[in-house]
Homo-oligomer: A and B are copies of this chain.
C-alpha cells in the first residue's frame, strides 16, 4: 500500500504496524526537508566511519571479518577501499562508524542510528544495484524503526543495555528489508529475527573494553541477516517487541508500546536526530556547552575556575559515573571531567584535542575539579530534551550558573551544510581515510543522492 499516511494500520498490533510502515514507506511519502536531512546524516556518517580507520578495535573487527569473507565483492569497506560481501562490509563499516564518537544521536531514544542503519543499507544497496532514492527510503525506514524501538524500550533498558546495539538490530533489519522489498508480513518476520538476536551490555565501560564497536557491528550484521532470511521465508516471532517472552519482557521494566507507532507517517523521527559537535559521549555535550556559555559570558579562563558542578540526568550518571580515572582516549570520551577540561582549555573537545591532550596534567587537574549531580529539571526533561546546566565556582569566590536548552547539533541548533561538509572533511582526514578532493566528490554524490540511478562506490577503490 502507499497511502498518504503510511503508518496507519489500526487493525495490527503495534510491532506489526511498525513493520508495515517500514515495508511500505515510499520516498514520495517523506517531506523534502526530511529527505535532505537524511542526506546530511549520510554524509555525517561517512565522515565518522572514515575517522575509524586505523583504530585498533575497528581494524581488529575488520581483520576478523575479512579473514572469514570473500576477498572481493560488491559492498564497499570504506576504511580499506576494498569490496566484500554485504554481510562483512556492513559489520566492518558499522564497527568503524562509532569509534570516533562523532556520529549522530537521537535524543529521545538515546540511540545512534547512523552507525547501525547506513552500513547495512549501503552494503545491500551496492550489492543489489539499488537507486539512491531506494537507499534514502530504506535508511529512513531504519531510522524510524530503530528510534521508535529505542523509545519503546525506555530508560530502564538503557540503564543496562546499549540501545544502539539492541534496537540497532531492528533498525538494520528494517533498512535492509526495505531494500529487499519485503512484504509487510516478511518485514514483521525480519524484525522478529532481529529482535531475538538483539544484544549489547554497558558492562564494558567499567574497564574501557572494546565492545562498543562490536555492538554496532553485531547490530548491522544480525539485522542484515534477519532481513535476508525473511526474504527467503524464514519466520520470526510476531510479537518480539511486546510479547510475554519478547524484548521488553526480558530487557525493560518501563516499556511503552504506544511509542512503537507514535506518529508513524506524520512524525519524522529521522529529522529529530542530532549531529555531534564535541567528539565525546553525547551525555557530556549539554554540560560542555553550558560551561562554554558561562566562560564566554564572564570572560573566564580555565585557571579562573575552582570547581564545576554539572547538573545532569540519571542516564549521564549511569554511563559516565563508572569512568573516574580514564586510562584510554576512548574511555576519556566518557569522562565528564575530561570533556569539560578539553572544552575549557581548547574551546572544543574534538578528535585532535582528545588524542593530543586527554592526559595532559592541565586536563587531569581540571577533570578533578568537575562533579556530577542529579538534577530534577534536567532528569525530567530527559530524554526528550537534553538540557545543560552547570554551576561554576571561580577561584575568586563567585558562583556562576550556566545553561543551554539545546546543545549544538540538536535540531533547534543544528549544523549547516557547510559546517557538515567541514566536519566530514576533517573526520576523513583525521586518520587518512580520504583526502579533501575525494570528500568533495563524495559530498557532491550525497547532495544528489535522491537522483543517483544506481548506488556505486562512495570512494575510489584502492589501487
Residues of A within 8 A of B (CB): 56-57, 60-61, 63-64, 67-70, 85-88, 159-161, 165, 189, 192-193, 195-211, 214-215, 218, 222, 225, 228-229, 232-240, 243-247, 249-251
State whether A57 and B245 are in contact (beta carbons under 8 Å apart), knowing that A68-B86, A196-B211, A214-B197 are contacts in the complex.
no
Smallest CB separation, A84 vs chain B (Å) = 9
Smallest CB separation, A58 vs chain B (Å) = 10
- Give 19 A-B pairs besides A192-B209, A196-B203, A197-B218 with Cβ atoms closer than 8 angstroms: A60-B234, A63-B232, A64-B229, A64-B232, A68-B88, A69-B70, A192-B204, A196-B211, A197-B214, A201-B237, A201-B245, A201-B247, A203-B246, A203-B249, A204-B237, A206-B243, A206-B244, A209-B236, A214-B229
Q: Is the interface of A mostly helix, strand, loop or mixed?
A: helix
Residues of B within 8 A of A215 (CB): 196
Smallest CB separation, A3 vs chain B (Å) = 27
Residues of B within 8 A of A193 (CB): 210-211, 214
Judging by beta carbons under 8 Å apart, are A85 and B60 in contact? no
How many copies make up the complex?
Answer: 2
Tell me the complex Cα distance, A228–B192, Å.
28
Tell me the complex Cα distance, A205–B244, Å.
11
Q: Taking CB as reference atom, which chain B residue is nearest A218?
A: B197
Please indicate which of the listed interface residues A85, A232, A234 has the most CB atoms of chain B within 10 Å of its own CB: A234
A-B contact pairs, 8 of them (CB 8 A): A68-B69, A197-B200, A201-B237, A201-B240, A203-B239, A203-B245, A206-B245, A210-B229
State whether A201 and B57 are in contact (beta carbons under 8 Å apart), knowing that A68-B86, A210-B235, A238-B206 are contacts in the complex.
no
Judging by beta carbons under 8 Å apart, are B237 and A209 in contact? yes
Q: Taking CB as reference atom, which chain B residue is nearest A209?
A: B235
Residue in B201, B236, B245, B247 whose beta carbon sits within 8 Å of that of A195 in the complex: B201
Tell me the complex Cα distance, A207–B57, Å.
39
Tell me the complex Cα distance, A204–B165, Å.
21
Residues of B within 8 A of A244 (CB): 203, 206
Q: Taking CB as reference atom, which chain B residue is nearest A243?
A: B203
Judging by beta carbons under 8 Å apart, are B160 and A250 in contact? yes
Judging by beta carbons under 8 Å apart, are A240 and B203 in contact? yes
Q: Taking CB as reference atom, which chain B residue is nearest A211?
A: B196
